């Protein structure tokens, strides 16, 4: 019973940490995508 309660209390921390990792990955991918699009747009304007 105590073990189940312990797992139940640990679950939200794992979910929040996982959500932070997903948000950081999304932020990194979005930033990289914006940079790539900006460079591509600049490259297209040169021609």
d(CA 39, CA 42): 5
**Distance (Å, whole) CA 33 – CA 27:** 10
**Residue carrying structure tokens 């991918």:** 29
Domain segments of the chain as ranges: 1-47
DSSP character at residue 46: T
Measured in whole angstroms, the distance separating CA 36 from the mean position of its chain's CA atoms is 18
pLDDT tens for 2-47 read 555 555 555 555 666 666 778 889 999 999 999 999 999 999 988 7
pLDDT score recorded for residue 10: 52
Q: What does the longest C-alpha to C-alpha distance in the chain come to? A: 69
């Amino acid at each position: 019973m105590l073990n189940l309660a312990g797992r139940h209390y640990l679950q939200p921390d794992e979910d929040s940490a996982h959500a932070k990792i997903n948000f950081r990955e999304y932020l990194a991918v979005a930033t990289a995508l914006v940079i790539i699009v900006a460079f591509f747009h600049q490259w297209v304007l040169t021609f």
